[in-house]
Amino acid sequence: MKILVLTCEEDEVLLRLAREIVEGVREAGESPSAAKNDFSGVAWADLVFFGFTTHRRFLWNHASDRALRALKENGMVWGGKRVALFAACYGEASRAAMQDVVRAAGEAGVGARIANTLAIVAQKTKQGSWEANEVDLARARGFGERTTNNANGRTVFKHNEKRRIKKYLK
Q: What is the CATH number of the domain that holds 72?
A: 3.40.50.360
pTM of the model: 0.81
Give me the residues paired with residue 60 across strands.
57
| Residue 107 belongs to some domain of the structure | yes
Q: Are 104 and 72 in contact (CB under 8 A)?
A: yes
φ and ψ at residue 95, rounded to 5 degrees? -60, -30
Map residue 31 onto helix, strand or coil.
Answer: coil
Residue 120 confidence (pLDDT): 86
Q: Is the pLDDT of residue 160 over 70?
A: no
| Residue 169 belongs to some domain of the structure | no
Pairing of strands 47-57, 3-7: parallel
Q: Given pLDDT bands bounded at 50, 70 and 90, which one contains residue 23? A: very high
Of residues 157 and 114, more confidently modeled: 114
Residue 168 confidence (pLDDT): 53
Angle at 138 between CA 134 and CA 140, to 5 degrees: 115
Q: How many CA atoms lie within 13 A of 103 on its CB side?
A: 6
| Residue 159 belongs to some domain of the structure | yes
| Residue 83 belongs to some domain of the structure | yes
| Residue 50 belongs to some domain of the structure | yes
Q: What is the tally of structural domains in the chain?
A: 1
Per-chain mean pLDDT for the chain: 80
Give the residue numbers spanning the domain of 159. Answer: 3-164
Pairing of strands 47-57, 82-90: parallel
